[in-house]
Amino acid sequence: MALRIEDYALIGDRQTTALVGKDGSIDWLCLPRFDSDACFAALLGTRDNGRWLIAPADPIKETSRRYRDDTLVLETDMHTDTGAVRLTDCMVPHPHDTTRMVRLVTGLSGSVEMRLELVFRFGFGRVVPWVRRMPGHEGIVAIAGPDMAVVWSDVPLEGQNQHTEARFTVEADQTVAFALEWLPSHRHVPKSFDPAHSVELATQKWQKWTQRAPVKGRWAEIVKRSLITLKALTHWETGGIVAAATCSLPEEIGGERNWDYRYCWLRDASFTLQALMNAGYRDEASAWRHWLDRAVAGSAADIQIMYGIAGERRLAEWRVDWLCGYENSRPVRVGNAAAEQRQLDVYGEMMNTLYQAHRGGLKHDQNSWELRCNLLDDLEKFWAAPDEGIWEVRGGRQQFVHSKVMAWVAFDRAIRSVEEFGYDGPAEHWRKIRQDIHDQVCAQGFDVSRNTFTQVYGSRTLDASLLLLAVVGFLPPDDPRIIGTVAAIERDLLQDGFVRRYDTDTGKDGLSGTEGVFLACSFWLVDNYALMGRKHDAETLFEKLIALRNDVGLFAEEYDTARQRQIGNFPQAFTHVALVNSAMRLSAMD
Ligand SMILES: OC[C@H]1O[C@H](O[C@H]2O[C@H](CO)[C@@H](O)[C@H](O)[C@H]2O)[C@H](O)[C@@H](O)[C@@H]1O
């Protein structure tokens, strides 16, 4: 069985990622890209669906782990009765269409007998490869269909029952190295590379990136970890930003709310970029604008709310019926049908992000601006129509208040771009639409009797996305309607002090079961407290939230307060973005 979600740590090369368990097992690895088939899928199944374990053969008495400072190089120390070892895991930045991973076992004290178990199962845990010994080296070559994985080893490897095993002993100060390289199976077996040197290279690369924008303030270390995580989810070549490293980690243990997040949502990517820019990373904005321009190129009417990493449009959703799911949470879904939804908010998020980027110095690009103007022409036609909203409900389109507010943001940022940067555009016309949207939201999306904005027009239900109204500037934070909305959310949507997205039992989302508290929304409540000058409340909630991070600073999408464990895809950009923004807002109040 897979470990608790928080017992995993992330490694990656900005092309793909892997999850390394506290027990030394890599239970998730997609090759060669974030969204490719997994060759280690034990996370969503069993060890027979693929994994790579390196661990002491004797019982482990104590484990501690950390990333090397300012990097994505993971060190896991394991102590047994006979001694202690350090497992160093990382992927090596490598600017070609191959992936390299290194695992080093270093003796810290005594003498430790180790066990290795390597099970390749390509095609999401199903395809058993042909495995042969590597000529002239200790190691193996595993081939199946388009995939070839080569593993070099300092110790002899043995084939056993369709997997590979090894036993070896590590003495203090001794290092035993393993290296993996993936490449297309039609290529030649590559030359080996120096594992220890590669770890140093990975360390230097990450440190160089982190030091480009030194983070200050009380929560600097926490913020840095989140920024590194966000960068790790950004494809080095296309500039596409994926929402999370995994698919189908459940929003309810044993439930059906399992989705594939290894794609680029315009919303999540916009948020991610804003966090990176706020922290001082400006080049990323330009790379993403290029990605966006390519992804949405063509008719503005055909824009999607999400794309593949290189801008692919078909993300067909299917069920992996041979995987039993994380703790039996089924179905395991790959692909995401939300790609075909209408979500009005993405227009606002895109326009806002690019407006902020231009304020931060991003150069004007006439084609890109014209594309945005075309998008607004289109939005003008259907901003008043229902949509699936920020939460991508599967129970049918509705008149979501947050969607309308973000349509308001889209026109607002376009007007500001004309006013502040002198871009060409029908500002007067846009001003009228902006006002129409504002009037409609205030008339139909506000419940006077309860003094709160509502989830959809004319309803009594609430929605945590309303916490964004003041953040985006739709109304000032001291407006009585905003104060009333925050009070209503505190009353109706708090669970053990954290924020739920909405009431799942209304059936409006079209799904069975329920879900945990949504961590990003909880950070948005911190932001509202801060905007309202409720500094103490903001800091108290922020501290409570960051206490939920795992031991290496990572967050999933949600938290199950009853079971006291992280749930949902992991690590998730949304949550880390929200953390960065709240931390910066609070630091600015010091
Ligand atoms: O809750 C149902 C939906 O859940 C997923 O969407 C969520 O994750 C997205 C990526 O982080 C985020 O943009 C969205 O706001 C979240 O609700 C899933 O991807 C959807 O298919 C599903 O309908």
Q: Position of tokens 């999306």? A: 445
Residue 411 corresponds to which amino acid? Answer: F
Confidence of residue 95 (pLDDT cuts 50, 70, 90): low
Let me know: does 279 contact 353? Beta carbons within 8 Å: no
- 137 has a pLDDT exceeding 90: no
**Arithmetic mean of pLDDT, 456-470:** 97
CA distances from 437 to 14, 88, 253, 356, 474 (A): 40, 54, 40, 22, 11
CA distance 98 to 362: 32
**Arithmetic mean of pLDDT, 407-411:** 98
507/131: higher pLDDT: 131
pLDDT at residue 468, rounded to an integer: 98
pLDDT at residue 133, rounded to an integer: 94
pLDDT at residue 93, rounded to an integer: 80
Confidence of residue 348 (pLDDT cuts 50, 70, 90): very high
**572 CA: nearest ligand 1 atom:** 11
- 96 has a pLDDT exceeding 80: no
CATH 3.40.50.300 fits 212-588, yes or no: no
**391 CA: nearest ligand 1 atom:** 17
Residues in the chain: 590
410/217: higher pLDDT: 410
Let me know: does 276 contact 230? Beta carbons within 8 Å: yes
Q: Ligand 1: which residues within 6 Å by Cβ?
A: 243, 259, 261, 265, 267-268, 336, 338, 390-392, 394, 574
pLDDT at residue 285, rounded to an integer: 83
pLDDT at residue 413, rounded to an integer: 98
Take atom 3 of ligand 1 and give the residue whose Cα is closest: 392
The model's pTM is 0.97
CA distance 266 to 241: 9
pLDDT in tens, 166-187: 999 999 999 999 999 999 999 9
Q: Is the bond into 386 cis (omega within 30 degrees of 0)? A: no
Q: How many Å is the Cα radius of gyration of the chain? A: 24
Q: Which of 251, 317, 345, 392 to mutate to test the pocket of ligand 1 (most atoms within 8 A of CB)?
A: 392
Picking from 96-100, 375-379, 518-522, 528-532, which range would have the lowest pLDDT averaged per residue? 96-100
- Kindly tell me the burial class for residue 148, based on how many C-beta atoms sit within 10 Å of its own C-beta (0-12, 13-18, 19 or more): buried
Domain boundaries, given as residue ranges, for the chain:
5-208, 212-588
Q: Position of tokens 């997609």? A: 30
**Arithmetic mean of pLDDT, 1-8:** 96
Considering the segment(s) 5-208 as one domain, its CATH architecture is Distorted Sandwich (2.70)
Provide the terminal-to-terminal Cα distance of the chain, rounded to the nearest Å: 45
Contacts 24+ apart (CB under 8 A), 33-37: 33/235, 33/309, 34/233, 34/235, 34/242, 34/245, 34/262, 34/309, 35/242, 35/260, 35/262, 35/263, 35/308, 35/309, 37/122, 37/123, 37/124
Confidence of residue 590 (pLDDT cuts 50, 70, 90): confident
Rounded to the nearest integer, the mean pLDDT of the chain is 96
- Say how many Å lie between the CA of residue 567 and the centre of ligand 1: 14
Q: Which of 344, 391, 515, 557 to mutate to test the pocket of ligand 1 (most atoms within 8 A of CB)?
A: 391
Take atom 13 of ligand 1 and give the residue whose Cα is closest: 268
